[in-house]
Amino acid sequence: MLIGVDEYRYFSPLPAVRNNLSELAKLFRSPLGGDLPDMHCTTVLNPSDVNSALDPVHRAASEASDTLVVYFAGHGMRLSDGSLRLAVGNSEPGRKQYASVAFEDLRSEVLDSTAANKVVILDCCYSGAALEGFMGGTDAVADETIIEGTYVMTASAATRAAMAPPNAPLTAFTGELVNAITDGVAEVPDPLDMSSLYKHVHGRLKSQGMPLPQQRASGLGHDIALFRNKWRPPTEKPTLSVKRDEWFREIHRELLGRLRDVSALAQDQLRPEFGDPALIRSLLVARIAVHLAQGKSTTAISRMLSSSGVFTTPRPNTDELYELITKVRFAYEADGLANSLPFLGGLGLFPWTPESTYMLLIEHWAAQRGRTMPRPRVEQELSELWDTADTRVLSAHSSLPSLPLVAYPDPWEKLKAEPDHRVGTVAALMLGERGGGDRAWEQWMSTRPWSTLKARHLVQLGGDLVRCLAAQRTLAQYVDPAPAGHDSHAVLVRAAEIVEEQLKDIALAIESMSAIEYDLLRERTADEHFQDGCLATFSKHLLKRPQVFTPFEEHRMNHGTWAAIPWWSLVVHGEQEQRAVEGFLKRGGIRLGVAAESPDADELVISCEEPDLGPSWIAARLVFDLRDVVQACELLLLGRRQSVVLDFLTEDIDEWGDRQLHLAGSLDHSLGLEIGATLTDVATRALRRLLPDSAGPSLHHEGVPALDRLLGSSRLPRIARCPR
């Protein structure tokens, strides 16, 4: 029973409703709907009064023996007593309530039916929400619509408007229903039960920022199935390119998880010509995180965004941009922009280097853009839209990045297709246990700085690489001793050729990926593996604490953290030092010195001086106690990040005699490779002394247990980032 009203006397028209009915009727009458006969699929378009709407429902309810389905699309009204009314052609908003269908009457007709299964689907609205292009919200019907032994789905929650986009062929809710039935739902059994259908439609509407549907069921209502599931499991393995695209979609989902309702990121705020909206949103979020990590103020970041060419005209206003920046800052402070720790939900992106996440997305955007735009145009847009001229980006987009990943051959499938089964067997043995491939794979996997579950293209490619290298070494030992001209020699030579060919394909695939992906792919030393585990564990503790700046005591300079990155603060006194800071911020740069009695010393001192010494020069020193596990971790974080923000603070005494600190300015200072390497080495030695029996994380583990226990009983660094 399909009922719809697209023409009203007193409400705005809903032209998409007519198509809703025709498309649903086609599906019920198709093989997907069990080839339902016309006499069992009734469509009522534009009933003018209550009787013309309810009489067909009464007949259908009386005749149905197996399943009764009632669908309604049109305007709806919520009365003061909370009851729901469905508007028909002659219904009036707020008046003549008897001229609209009381949902309670429709509910009674459905309840009286002897059908074993009952389904009610409402794509309607409440009075007062029917603006142009909208239908009002219905959560509606929530508890009011419960019918024993049935399933009820409504288009939206009570506080939201259900969408009927102007000029769209179908309403948003019914459109996704039709798409799900027409295309099928992945990873769901056949036939398609109502619960699975609802979850898919809910997810699709949520990803588009649309109002979310609601469901209620009693008995086995969730298991009612109206349609066959057209989806079938893929018969072919996904290519590396497909796996890589899945990885980027997961990155977008994680980065935007807390920000879906931010108005500045709404689809109509972004210019569509610059590519995938999810990628553009992710780039904006990552760029804000980078600026925050570099000490930029909210005002400065807002100015940067307000001039960005990715926004439509009119651009988001100041309040909308401030909301976006505030939410990004909160997300970065709370979990490093992702929903789980320590490695951004297993994506391989580290919270202590938001720059690497931004660079990865920039390279991906440039590669996508470079497929349809000439190189000079992409270079110009990189500079104008994303403020970058990094040589890695400029080279990345010109290398046909997807082709080697699409064509990359699976080595095991290649061996199955080898005409000489002896060659395939020998090569398989070399790639497996006999040739050391299995051991190489286990070693490589155990030293990954990221979860194996989401970066599947890197897992496959890295695993093939280390297996092939191990097999190549082992085959070289067998080929030379084998007698020339003997069958075994020819078999070994051909097996070695197959491995060599695979290594060339691997090299092409790696060359087509970004610098960040290569860094995640490469083999790691024991020290790097240990450092990764320590930083993961430390970051987890840093990000789960409240991010509140506490003014320091009367120390001249302090080291600490903000979110999961290092941060320093320097308090300056008197007009002379304040003038020196003003000049210092204009010139930039700082002279650092690192002093320790030995690489295994218990204390390390970092001295900070103004480059040009004079009568007002500023000098300060930071002391790291390497017997303190927290300070050793902080030093490791500093060494691996190779940069730190220094806040210059001034102080005064307020009228109540309390000491107040004020931010005079911030400097984002690069430590350089040499100092970064020195700090990393000293911190690693200190942590190995403090954790004598610990290595890096084992396979599928996300931290160093011994360090986790120590940090759990230690006081973490203070928040050194002054509010701006």
617 touches 581 (CB < 8 A): no
Classify 659 as helix, strand or coil.
Answer: strand
- The C-alpha atoms of residue 60 and residue 58 are separated, in whole angstroms, by 6
Per-residue pLDDT tens digits for 631-646? 999 999 999 999 999 9
User: How much is the CA Rg of the chain, to the nearest whole Å?
Assistant: 32
Largest CA distance in the chain: 101
Contact 627, 678 (CB under 8 A): no
Mean pLDDT of the chain: 84
CA nearest 585: which of 666, 512, 657, 515?
666
| 8-state DSSP, 598 | S
657 exposure class (CB count in 10 Å sphere: 0-12, 13-18, 19+): exposed
pLDDT at 301: 96
Task: Look at residue 163 in the predicted model and tell me its pLDDT.
Answer: 62
Give the tokens for residue 530.
């240990």
Cα gap 353→515, rounded to integer Å = 14
Q: How far apart are CA 222 and CA 193, in angstroms?
A: 7
Length of the chain (residues): 724
User: What pLDDT is attached to residue 451?
Assistant: 57
Least confident of 106-120, 197-211, 559-573, 631-645: 197-211
- Cis (ω within 30 of 0) for the bond into 401? no
Residues 6+ apart with CB under 8 A from 436: 470, 471, 473, 474
The confidence score (pLDDT) of residue 371 equals 75
* Tokens read off for 348: 């391989």
CA distance 160 to 125: 9
CA angle 483, 488, 491 (to 5 degrees): 125
C-alpha angle with apex 138: 136 to 140, nearest 5 degrees?
150
pLDDT in tens, 235-270: 678 889 889 988 898 889 888 887 878 999 998 899
| pLDDT given at position 345 | 46
Which tokens sit at 301?
């970041």
For tokens 């990954």, the residue is 448
Among candidates 476, 471, 478, 448, which has minimal Cα distance to 460?
448
For 492-524, what is each residue's pLDDT tens digit?
Answer: 999 999 999 999 999 999 988 888 888 888 888
Helix H or strand E encompassing 285:
helix 277-293
User: Of the spans 117-131, 393-407, 516-530, 692-706, which averages the highest pLDDT?
Assistant: 516-530
DSSP 129: -
703: three-class secondary structure by DSSP = coil
659-670 β-sheet, strand order: 557-562, 565-572, 643-653, 659-670
**pLDDT tens digits for range 66-81:** 899 999 999 888 777 7
User: Minimal CA–CA distance to 502: which of 410, 416, 405, 402?
Assistant: 410
Helices 456-479 and 437-446 cross at an angle (nearest 10°) of 140
- Residue of 268, 305, 272 lying closest to 286 (CA atoms): 305
Mean predicted confidence (pLDDT) in 475-490? 82
- The residue assigned the tokens 């920000």 is 259
Interstrand relation of 557-562 and 565-572 (parallel, antiparallel or unpaired):
antiparallel
**How high is the pLDDT of residue 338?**
65
Residue 135: its pLDDT value, please?
39
The secondary element (H helix, E strand) that includes residue 113 is none
Other CB atoms within a 10 A radius of the CB of residue 105 amount to 15
- What CA–CA distance (Å, rounded) separates 19 from 466? 56
Residue carrying structure tokens 């000491």: 659
- Joined tokens for residue 403: 């082709």
With cut-offs at 50, 70 and 90, classify the pLDDT of residue 335. Answer: confident
- Angle (nearest 5°) at CA 354 between 664 and 595: 65
C-beta of residue 192 within 8 angstroms of C-beta of residue 225: yes
Q: Which two tokens stand for residue 617?
A: 């020069």
* Alpha-carbon torsion, ordered 536, 542, 543, 544, to 10 deg: 110
- What share of the chain has pLDDT > 70, as a percent? 87
Helix (H) or strand (E) holding 116: none
Backbone angles phi, psi at 408, to 5 degrees: -60, 125
The residues with which 566 forms a beta bridge, in sequence order, are 561
What is the C-alpha to C-alpha distance for residues 24 and 34, in angstroms, rounded to an integer?
13
Q: Any idea which of 233-247, 270-284, 335-349 has the lowest mean pLDDT?
A: 335-349
User: Helix and strand tally (H, E) in the chain?
Assistant: 25, 20
Report pLDDT for 631: 97
Residue 697 three-state SS:
coil
Residues with Cβ within 8 Å of residue 88, at least 6 apart in sequence: 5, 47, 48, 49, 50, 52, 53, 74, 99, 100, 101
The count of other CB atoms within 10 Å of the CB of residue 7 is 15
Question: What does the alpha-carbon distance between residue 131 and residue 316 come to, in Å, rounded to a whole number?
Answer: 23
The predicted pLDDT at position 389 comes to: 66
Integer angstrom CA distances of residue 206 from 113, 168, 277: 34, 18, 15
Coil vs helix vs strand at 153 = strand
pLDDT of residue 104: 86
Distance between CA atoms of 601 and 678, rounded to whole angstroms? 13
d(CA 507, CA 492): 23
Tell me if 516 sits within 8 A of 359, measured CB to CB: yes
DSSP 49-75: SHHHHHHHHHHHHHH-SSEEEEEEES-
Q: What local confidence, expressed as pLDDT, does residue 350 receive?
A: 81
Which class for 109: exposed (0-12), middle (13-18), buried (19 or more C-beta within 10 A)?
buried
The token duo for 245 is 């695209």
User: In degrees, to the nearest 5, what angle opens at C-alpha 166 toward C-alphas 163 and 172?
Assistant: 30
Of 35-39, 300-304, 337-341, 709-713, where does mean pLDDT reach its minimum? 337-341
For the entire predicted model, the pTM comes to 0.67
- 565: closest CA among 304, 289, 259, 297? 289
Output 347 or 713, whichever has higher pLDDT.
713
